[in-house]
């Protein structure tokens, strides 16, 4: 079962959810802010992706800017990043969609089509 980490007030998450529903993709919706992935889960997600850590961060988010992470992300270890994100779901780029083999952050219809359809 795919896990769809989203934030109910996020327009991008709403678009992604609509796409999943229209394409009859089964998923479990999880509130990214109320129940962020655990540190261990995040480390698994990083391992499933060839993307850099920056890909997983909500770089346009207020918390990201407030914490000055722009200058820190390049030097963070995966463990440090996972710990920060597990404690503050707003640091994670949303929506985050994962299954046993793949992970995507954000929503681009062409990426969803290629990855999840």
| Percent over 70 (pLDDT), the chain | 100
> What is the structure's pLDDT at 116?
96
Q: Which residue has the tokens 């999880």?
A: 30
> What is the structure's pLDDT at 84?
97
Three-point CA angle 99, 102, 108, nearest 5°: 105
Q: 29 forms bridges with which residues in the sheet?
A: 4
CB atoms within 10 A of CB 93: 22
Report whether 11 contacts 106 (CB < 8 A): no
> What is the structure's pLDDT at 14?
97
> What is the structure's pLDDT at 74?
92
pLDDT band at 21 (very low <50, low <70, confident <90, very high): very high
pLDDT digit string, tens, across residues 36-91: 999 999 999 999 999 999 999 999 999 999 999 999 999 999 999 999 999 999 99
Quote the CA–CA distance of 69 and 107 in Å, as a whole number: 22
Counting Cβ atoms within 10 Å, is residue 9 exposed (0-12), middle (13-18) or buried (19+)?
A: exposed
Instruction: Please provide residue 5's backbone torsions phi and psi, each rounded to the nearest 5 degrees.
Output: -85, 120
> What is the structure's pLDDT at 110?
97
- Nearest in space to 89 (alpha carbons), one of 6, 13, 25, 18: 6
Please indicate, yes or no, whether the overall pTM of this predicted structure exceeds 0.75: yes
């Amino acid at each position: 079962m795919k896990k769809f980490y989203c934030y109910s007030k996020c327009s991008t998450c709403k678009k992604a959810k609509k796409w999943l529903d229209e394409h009859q993709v089964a998923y479990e919706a999880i509130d990214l802010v109320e129940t962020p992935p655990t540190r261990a889960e995040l480390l698994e997600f990083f391992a499933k992706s060839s993307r850099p850590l920056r890909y997983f961060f909500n770089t346009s988010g207020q918390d990201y800017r407030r914490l000055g992470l722009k200058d820190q992300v390049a030097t963070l270890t995966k463990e440090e990043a996972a710990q920060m994100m597990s404690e503050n779901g707003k640091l994670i780029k949303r929506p985050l969609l994962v299954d046993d083999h793949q992970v995507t952050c954000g929503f681009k219809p062409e990426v969803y089509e290629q990855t999840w359809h």
